[in-house]
Chain A
């Protein structure tokens, strides 16, 4: 097949991938967008198989069958709560594949004894470096999310120094590799150090910061693909890789903004492990939080017209999504308007809470993003907080000493009544007390999220 035809096929593939991604702009067009992107991918693969250099198909077909089977099984089996782990694994494999491709190309140059020229040696180094870090970094992120290892930041004395030293060593070896591309030793050093750095860079990052890490690794996996595009002189790879790179960068920024922290702080700050002593404990003024029963809450509901539900990851952990949807349905039957307030970092990855609620059949029109819903709390009768804590802590607005000061929050305290369903008075991830729990208009309902919500459904049915 002639080269020009193949270039046109890559162009068509790139157009379909971009059209597909723009389809994700609304829930109505999204399923077709995804299919469009998949079609683009298929075209790129078929075009590649028709290229002159590709002659032995046995290995290729075997690889595709093995990989597709594993991918399909993962995709169909995975629980929606485990989606962050799934994305971490996929990121890792994408990055790993790019590192392997760059390595394979390098070995091929060595075998042929021809020195790569121009931008190619640099691209090979970048492909191995970014791909390697993405591979092991994603596996660590997976292990933390899957709770195979502790989610808490793993820190030790001199950690930053060790990482910086390794980083400098990696750069040095990278430069050597660019200058003498046919030498094996710099290649081994670059590969080894990239894999090692991927591990070391992610272990000090806490479980709650994983949304940022996953977004960033997503971006890296795209950039690694981009680098292999330069290695192979393949425009299809460069275009698709940079689309993913851009997407990851945007999501990373959104996540950082939602936590009011810089990327540097997330990556190197080891949040939750340091500076606990200097943090203010939260302004409770010696007040005590008052516990109520679901029946008490139902009495308030009987005089209410509107309710905003604020779900947190605690709700998902308790598998209470379906119970919450039942509650929303019951309230609506009684003539109470229900909306859901979604904080950008609710869940364990960007947009995670929306998926969990959509799975429980909550119509997506009811899922309102933070900026929009915050205007409505002051005109709302009841804000119902389920398994969320730090994202509704008013100290983030007012207490400069609080570690979460400046983080954008959901203004639930401005509602007429606030119900908080919570297991106990334990502080949230940030380790700070939440003054919301002590407010006069706040009713604490202690208990397991699922059981308590179901009890609330019963009480509302009887009393309202």
Chain B
């Protein structure tokens, strides 16, 4: 998929710029939800964990993959849920 390091680096650099542009527009009011939300996104490493744990042969890497899935799921589920909980408080208006 990303066999050519030049293409991979291109994607990395462009994605960093997109990240800077998007995040710089988030107001300080929402910095905590931004942090927990982006945190959940860093749980994307679960994709790697799935690949490591899902191989046909059950080996030590499967065990590491399993722990990685547990860690990453905590990160993803915990991150998105807690962000949702916080944002619900900002939505509330006084009657």
Contact = CB atoms under 8 A, between A and B. Distances in A.
Interface of A: 3, 7, 14, 17-18, 20-22, 24-28, 30-31, 33-35, 37-38, 41, 44-45, 48-49, 51, 53-57, 59-60, 62-64, 66-68, 70-72, 74-76, 78, 80, 83, 86-87, 89-91, 93-94, 96-98, 100-105, 107-108, 111, 118-119, 214-215, 218, 221-222, 224-226, 228-251, 254, 342, 344, 349-352, 354-355, 358-359, 361, 363-364, 367, 369
25 contacts: A21-B22, A21-B26, A21-B34, A27-B90, A33-B37, A53-B55, A67-B69, A68-B73, A75-B82, A94-B72, A97-B49, A100-B52, A104-B49, A107-B59, A108-B59, A118-B5, A225-B42, A244-B38, A246-B17, A247-B23, A250-B23, A344-B28, A351-B35, A354-B28, A358-B92
A59 B62 contact: yes
Contact of B52 (A108, A118, A247): A108
Contact of B47 (A24, A48, A78, A342): A48
Contacts of B27: 25-26, 369
Contact of A72 (B60, B78, B92): B78
B48 to A, nearest CB: 4
A176 to B, nearest CB: 21
A57 B54 contact: yes
Contact of A34 (B26, B47, B50, B83): B83
Given A53-B54, A94-B42, A101 B48 contact: yes
B95 to A, nearest CB: 10
A238 B11 contact: yes
Nearest to A243: B19
Q: Which 4 A-B pairs have the closest CB atoms?
A: A67-B73, A246-B19, A351-B31, A63-B69
A45 B47 contact: yes
A101 B49 contact: yes
B40 A41 contact: yes
Nearest to B92: A361
Taking residues whose C-beta sits less than 8 angstroms from the other chain, chain B's interface range is: 35 or more
A15 to B, nearest CB: 11
A218 B15 contact: no
A20 B5 CA distance: 28
**Interface secondary structure of B, over-half rule:** helix
Nearest to B39: A90
B44 A108 contact: no
A359 B43 CA distance: 26
A234 B75 contact: no
A97 B48 CA distance: 9
A237 B35 contact: no
- Residue of A7, A33, A107, A351 with highest tally of chain B CB at under 10 A: A351
A251 B73 contact: no
B19 A55 contact: no
Contacts of B76: 41, 67-68, 71
Contacts of A45: 46-47, 50
B21 to A, nearest CB: 9
Contacts of A72: 77-78, 81
B44 A351 contact: no
Contacts of A89: 74, 78
A364 B81 CA distance: 21
Contacts of B93: 363
B9 to A, nearest CB: 8
Contact of A83 (B32, B50, B57, B77): B32
Contacts of A96: 68, 71
B49 to A, nearest CB: 5
B47 to A, nearest CB: 5
A226 B44 CA distance: 9
